[in-house]
Amino acid sequence: MKHYDVIVVGGGHAGCEAAHAATRMGAITALVTMKRDDLGVMSCNPAIGGLGKGHLVREIDALDGVMGRVADLAGIQFRLLNRRKGPAVQGPRAQIDRSLYKAHMRTEMESLPILDLLEGEVAELLFENSKLVGVGLTDNAAIYGKTVVLTTGTFLGGTVHIGDKRYPAGRMGSKSSIRLAAQIRDLFPRMGRLKTGTPPRLDGKTINWEVLESQPGDDVPTYFSFLTNSTSTEQVSCGITHTNGETHDIIRENLDRSAMYGGHIEGTGPRYCPSIEDKVVRFSDKSSHQVFLEPEGLSTDVVYPNGISTSLPEDVQESYVSTLKGLDNVRIIQPGYAIEYDYCDPTTLSRTLEHRDQEGLFLAGQINGTTGYEEAAAQGLVSGLNAAAKALSKDTVTFLRSDSYIGVMLDDLTTRSVTEPYRMFTSRAEFRLRLRADNADQRLTEFGKLAGCVGEARWTVFAEKKSKLDSAKAIMENKTYSSKELEGFGISVKNDGKKRSTFDLLSFPNIEFPDLLEIQPELSSVEFHVREQIERDAMYANYLVRQERDAEALQRDEQRAIPVDMDYESLSGLSGELRSKLVRVRPASLGQAARIEGMTPAALTLILSVLKRSEAERRA
């Protein structure tokens, strides 16, 4: 019988990325999912990327993952969000053709020689003498392997709600994962319920597009992958409409029929992605809400109305949707619904996403309390790399808050846990000016190469780009000019006795690359895209020095490791609340401990003194 290094359960965004990453590490991998057709299914909105999320996709790509490349191939409208703002807060986003995404993802996965794609429903984890040895399917087949990655998304104990109707399902049209849920709840006491919702799908042929505002993509698309230069997929526009007083009246009148407001759902939903019921109740002074009408693809008429997710009964959905401008005669193809599912408190996981109480078991994606394809994929990547590393006895692959959004997310999840579905935002990253979408490759590709997950093709492209950047920067930093000399070139800077390089000059808001050519004519050979990248790198130079210092301070605290068996119970002087948080989170370092909510300097000092004492004892 085949014995796998890594078994991935689930073929969603986390699952695909995990399996792909594991094979890049050289692990013999199986991906088991309910249906082969699951690969690359987007359960909710037909879009990938955005602020924070786009950063994650770039980082996955920098580590040679799949999501960015597949999204580029399936993208039907590309927009760089915050284009007018600084590069650190720009995020690439694209509308995606669902069926193209699935098709390209499937091709991508099927092309991996050491990956087996298996169809089936996993019913249980299999143990031998409490050692995890594989998974058992509902048809009683067993799959054996060294490590298991669970990426079951919204399927664990999933319940769909539409008004007062409810039934078990993993998402519309898929069955819920019930047997596995029962076992997991049994094994791990710290499970909880979360919920999320999706809007009704509309028939685009019945929308009066003529009367609607339209939002086109960017003229020059910004792709996700560092490897994509162009695509041939046709591009489309989205429509924009608004809710109005009439819409809100209907919703208000029927609130008691909403699954959420009728008290049928116990799970917590995301504040930043509220249902239309929520918006009408919580922001009652707002007379209108914007709704984007997003085409779900080139070969379908289905339209996704972004902004009106709901758990009202179908008849109410029918009547309120038709009050929106341009939707008078709209036909609903599939009603909106809410879904409630089990998640696992992520503070039970280590930073590799391995469960602390079950060696060899990794968890990634929605099951960890996150929401979103990108968040799921990024965790999939981390779990895949580490499950492979474990199976192949390689070093773990971990990320820091100061090196990536991936690191920020892992740290947030494993340190603070979640109270609502966790979504990435750029404001979660305190090192935002360093962690840009545009420099994800400069931050991570070399790291990935060392970890063993970056292939030759990508490395060649990156190495060439890097050498061009380096040599251009070398020219620029090679010479410095006094303010007097610069005056001669028509550039006025503060006369503070400082000599500046042309790279330094780029951090001034009014100076751009072409302005430097007069000073250093040899720069005229620098290619356009290299110039652009250098401009972005230089722009924050003054701030980066400061962030660098902060990052170092953080690293110092991060390096002060706290042993996993640290005995918090015996630390007198800790408040009961902090003690239970520390016991729950089991921070791996002093830095992580500091970020636990409600942590006090006093408690940190206490932990630090214990660490120092035990260090001293060890030395003695």
Partner 1 sequence: MDTIFALSTAPGKAGVAVIRVSGPEAFRAAEAVCGSLPATHKAALRRFRKRDGTLIDEGIVICFPEGNSFTGENVVEFQTHGSQAVVSLLETELSSISGVRHALAGEFTRRALLNDRLDLTQVEALADLIEAETVAQHSQAIETLSGRLADSVVKWREGLLTAMSLVEAMIDFSDEELPPGMTEDIVRRLAELARTFEREIEGSQVAERVRSGFEIAIIGRPNSGKSTLLNHIAGREAAITSEIAGTTRDVIEVRMDLFGLPVTFLDTAGMRETDDPIEAKGVDLAKQRAERADIRIHLVESSDSGDLRIEDGTAFVGQKRDLASYPGFGLSGVTGEGVSDLLHAIHEYLKNSVNSKGSISNERHRRSLVEAKRCILQAAVHIELGEDYVDLAAEELRRAVHELDAVVGKIGVEDVLGKIFATFCMGK
Ligand X SMILES: Cc1cc2nc3c(=O)[nH]c(=O)nc-3n(C[C@H](O)[C@H](O)[C@H](O)COP(=O)(O)OP(=O)(O)OC[C@H]3O[C@@H](n4cnc5c(N)ncnc54)[C@H](O)[C@@H]3O)c2cc1C
Per the annotation, binding residues for NAD(+) are: 269-283
Angle at 544 between CA 542 and CA 550, to 5 degrees: 125
> Which residues sit in the known binding site for FAD?
10-15, 122, 177, 366
Site string for ligand X, 134-163 (x = CB under 6 A): -----------------xxxxx--------
Q: Is 572 in the site for partner 1 (CB under 8 A)?
A: yes
Q: Burial code of 588-617, b = ≥16 C-beta within 10 A, e = fewer?
A: bbbbbbbbbeebeeebbebbbebbeeeeee
Alpha carbon distance 324, 335 (integer Å) = 16
Q: Is 38 in the site for ligand X (CB under 6 A)?
A: yes
Q: Burial code of 420-435, b = ≥16 C-beta within 10 A, e = fewer?
A: bbbbbbbebbebbbbb
50 contact, one of ligand X, partner 1, none, CB 5-8 Å limit per kind: partner 1
- Shortest gap between Cβ of 121 and partner 1 (angstroms)? 38
Q: Is 376 in the site for ligand X (CB under 6 A)?
A: yes
Q: Is 289 in the site for partner 1 (CB under 8 A)?
A: yes
CA–chain centroid gap for 455, Å, is 22
Helices (runs of H) and strands (runs of E) counted in the chain: 20, 20
Q: Is 448 in the site for ligand X (CB under 6 A)?
A: no
329 contact, one of partner 1, ligand X, none, CB 5-8 Å limit per kind: none
Pick from 270, 264, 252, 250: which is nearest to 323 by CA? 250
Q: Is 372 in the site for ligand X (CB under 6 A)?
A: yes
Range 530-569, binding ligand X (CB under 6 A): none
Question: Concatenated DSSP letters for 592-611?
Answer: HHHTSTT--HHHHHHHHHHH
Q: Is 426 in the site for partner 1 (CB under 8 A)?
A: yes
Pick from 349, 368, 364, 355: which is nearest to 587 by CA? 349
Residues contacting residue 366 through CB under 8 Å, at least 6 positions apart: 12, 14, 152, 153, 154, 341, 343, 376, 421
Among 52, 170, 239, 336, binds partner 1 (CB under 8 A): 52
Q: Contact 380/16 with Cβ under 8 angstroms?
A: yes
29 contact, one of ligand X, partner 1, none, CB 5-8 Å limit per kind: none
Q: In this structure, is the dihedral angle defined by the CA atoms of residues 270, 276, 278 and 284, taken in order, positive or negative? A: positive
Pick from 169, 351, 163: which is nearest to 256 by CA? 163
Q: Is 50 in the site for partner 1 (CB under 8 A)?
A: yes
Q: Is 363 in the site for ligand X (CB under 6 A)?
A: no
Q: Is 603 in the site for partner 1 (CB under 8 A)?
A: yes
Q: Is 15 in the site for ligand X (CB under 6 A)?
A: yes
Among 209, 600, 614, 615, binds partner 1 (CB under 8 A): 600
Nearer to ligand X, 77 or 177 (CB): 177
Range 323-352, binding ligand X (CB under 6 A): 339
Report the side by side order of strands in the sheet with 238-242.
213-215, 238-242, 290-295, 302-306, 201-203, 332-334
Question: Which pair of tokens denotes residue 619?
Answer: 């030395």
What are the φ/ψ torsions at residue 79 (nearest 5 degrees)?
A: -135, 135
What are the φ/ψ torsions at residue 150 (nearest 5 degrees)?
A: -95, 120
Nearer to ligand X, 295 or 421 (CB): 421
Among 5, 29, 40, 43, binds ligand X (CB under 6 A): 43
Question: Which pair of tokens denotes residue 423?
Answer: 């979504």
Q: Is 606 in the site for partner 1 (CB under 8 A)?
A: yes
Judged on CB neighbours under 10 Å (0-12, 13-18, 19+), 89 is middle
Q: Is 290 in the site for partner 1 (CB under 8 A)?
A: yes
Q: Kindly determine how many residues on this chain lie close enough to bind partner 1 according to the rule CB under 8 A.
A: 34
Among 32, 48, 80, 433, binds partner 1 (CB under 8 A): 433
Among 145, 274, 313, 365, binds ligand X (CB under 6 A): 365
- Which residues contact ligand X by CB under 6 A? 9-15, 32-34, 38, 43-44, 121-122, 151-155, 170-171, 174, 177, 180, 196-198, 273, 339, 365-366, 371-373, 376
| Binding-site ranges for partner 1 (CB under 8 A) | 50-52, 81-82, 84-86, 88-89, 289-290, 425-427, 430, 432-433, 509, 543, 546, 553, 572-573, 575, 594, 600-606, 608
